[in-house]
């Protein structure tokens, strides 16, 4: 789901997903998946305001449940437009114990036929790199394995459904022309994805919903969202995405650049951090509950940050003009972040970024 999704569309999603007005957080970890920069470029690529790259296809029959609830029919039509205006928490569809990860396939659009191959490394990422274990998959990537991701299906339906609507409207999808490699059952599920998205976008929220007096709403739990809900975010340009910070925790978003495929972070990539102070109007704030193992997450995050610092330094400095001492200092700074007060962490990260940006300007 795009972080720049317009507010009017987010309103419809909040209504359909049985959420309170202005509480959908698009910066939740449930909506973030890292991919290589070259593949990310194709994911967002458009021509004449229409997508030409690829999308994730939810390879799961649970999509039929979405269709039955929001579209209002068990039979999946090739033409979209029907809706029930129903409200239901999409997490309630994920009742099977196996649905702690979600199954996806990469489906390319015809414009990606001119792309280079998609690479997949089959070796141990923590062992020395073996080029013999790097596999290449060419369009239409039919032999690319199923991808198990942590992204729930409803976030992907928003992105994939929107792309399909931009290409085909509510009319039948041109499978024989654009997706001849898809089996009949896959075509049926892809119809369901587009139909559900159209139903969400055609939703009609009530006036009580906008006033916050919606008694029919069933409260979402913090565990469902992956981040605390509530009207306490910062609006992103072009939409109502939020950067959420609470109880000393903050969300750091890696924004990959639009460039050729690189092994690691490129100089034009960036890190952004937004710190927000919340006023509680004299009331005690609700406690934050994290549904992940905090210690393991912090360790992994700091290890990734150390690697990022090293990559940025290597990408912006000549090896023959530096003895590496400054790079080591930057890494040490990252390592001591746990010992720095909350505000100091943000200042340290921002200071590192400013140093890198200043170096870019001097080049």
What is the domain partition of the chain in residue ranges?
7-211, 244-362
Residues 228-278 have pLDDT tens digits of 333 323 333 334 443 332 233 323 233 333 333 333 344 434 433 333 343
The Cβ of residue 41 has, within 10 Å, a number of other Cβ atoms equal to 18
The whole-angstrom separation of Cα 146 and Cα 58 is: 10
In this structure, what token pair is assigned to residue 5? Answer: 């999704």
Report, as an integer, the average pLDDT of 11-16. Answer: 97
Which range scores top for mean pLDDT: 105-109, 118-122, 256-260?
105-109
Q: What is the pLDDT of residue 279?
A: 41
In this structure, what token pair is assigned to residue 240? Answer: 């109502």
Please, are residues 223 and 81 in contact by the beta-carbon 8 Å criterion?
no
Residue 171 gets the label, from left (phi > 0), alpha (psi -120 to 50) or beta, of beta
The whole-angstrom separation of Cα 233 and Cα 251 is: 12
The whole-angstrom separation of Cα 35 and Cα 46 is: 18
Greater confidence (176 vs 3) lies with 176
pLDDT cut 70: percent of the chain above it:
63
Greater confidence (14 vs 215) lies with 14
45, 138, 148, 292 alpha-carbon torsion, rounded to 10°? -50
Strands 249-250 and 147-149, by their bridges, are unpaired
| 91 Cβ contact list (under 8 Å, min separation 6) | 152, 224
Give how far Cα 230 sits from Cα of 22, 216, 219, 225, Å.
7, 17, 11, 11
57 sits in which H/E element: strand 54-58
Q: What is the pLDDT of residue 319?
A: 54
Which range scores top for mean pLDDT: 145-159, 278-292, 299-313, 345-359?
145-159
Please, are residues 241 and 3 in contact by the beta-carbon 8 Å criterion?
yes
Report, as an integer, the average pLDDT of 82-101. Answer: 88
Minimum mean pLDDT among 16-30, 146-160, 190-204, 349-363: which range? 349-363
Q: What is the pLDDT of residue 228?
A: 32
Q: What is the pLDDT of residue 218?
A: 53
Report, as an integer, the average pLDDT of 292-321. Answer: 70
Predicted confidence band at 47 (pLDDT cuts at 50, 70, 90)?
very high
């Amino acid at each position: 789901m795009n972080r720049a999704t317009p507010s009017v569309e987010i309103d419809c999603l909040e209504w359909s997903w049985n959420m309170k007005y202005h509480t959908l957080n698009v910066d939740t970890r449930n909506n973030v998946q890292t991919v290589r920069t070259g593949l990310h470029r194709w994911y967002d690529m458009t021509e004449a305001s229409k997508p030409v790259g690829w999308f994730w296809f939810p390879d799961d029959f649970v999509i039929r449940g979405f269709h039955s609830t929001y579209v209002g029919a068990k039979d999946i039509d090739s033409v979209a437009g029907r809706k029930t205006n129903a409200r239901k928490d999409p997490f309630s569809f994920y009742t099977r114990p196996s649905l702690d990860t979600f199954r996806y396939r990469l489906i390319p659009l015809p414009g990606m036929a001119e792309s280079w191959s998609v690479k997949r490394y089959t070796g141990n990422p923590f062992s020395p790199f073996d080029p013999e274990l790097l596999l290449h998959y060419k369009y239409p990537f039919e032999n690319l394995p199923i991808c198990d991701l942590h992204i729930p299906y409803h976030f992907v339906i928003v992105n994939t459904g929107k792309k399909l609507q931009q290409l085909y409207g509510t009319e039948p999808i041109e499978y024989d022309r654009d997706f001849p490699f898809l089996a009949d059952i896959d075509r049926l599920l892809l119809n369901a994805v587009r139909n559900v998205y159209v139903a969400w976008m055609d939703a009609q929220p009530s006036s009580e919903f906008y006033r916050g007096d919606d008694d029919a709403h069933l409260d979402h739990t913090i565990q469902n969202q992956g981040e605390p809900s509530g009207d306490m975010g910062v609006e992103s340009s072009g939409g109502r995405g939020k950067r959420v910070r609470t109880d000393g925790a903050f969300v750091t978003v890696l924004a990959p650049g639009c460039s050729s495929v690189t092994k690691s972070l490129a100089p034009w990539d960036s890190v952004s951090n937004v710190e927000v102070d919340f006023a509680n109007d004299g009331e005690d704030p609700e406690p934050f509950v994290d549904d992940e193992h905090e210690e393991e997450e912090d360790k992994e995050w700091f290890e990734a940050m150390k690697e990022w610092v090293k990559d940025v330094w290597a990408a912006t400095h000549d090896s023959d003009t530096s003895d590496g001492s400054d790079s080591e200092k930057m890494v040490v700074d990252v390592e001591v972040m746990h010992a720095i007060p909350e505000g100091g962490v943000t200042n340290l990260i921002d200071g590192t970024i400013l140093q890198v940006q200043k170096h870019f300007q001097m080049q």
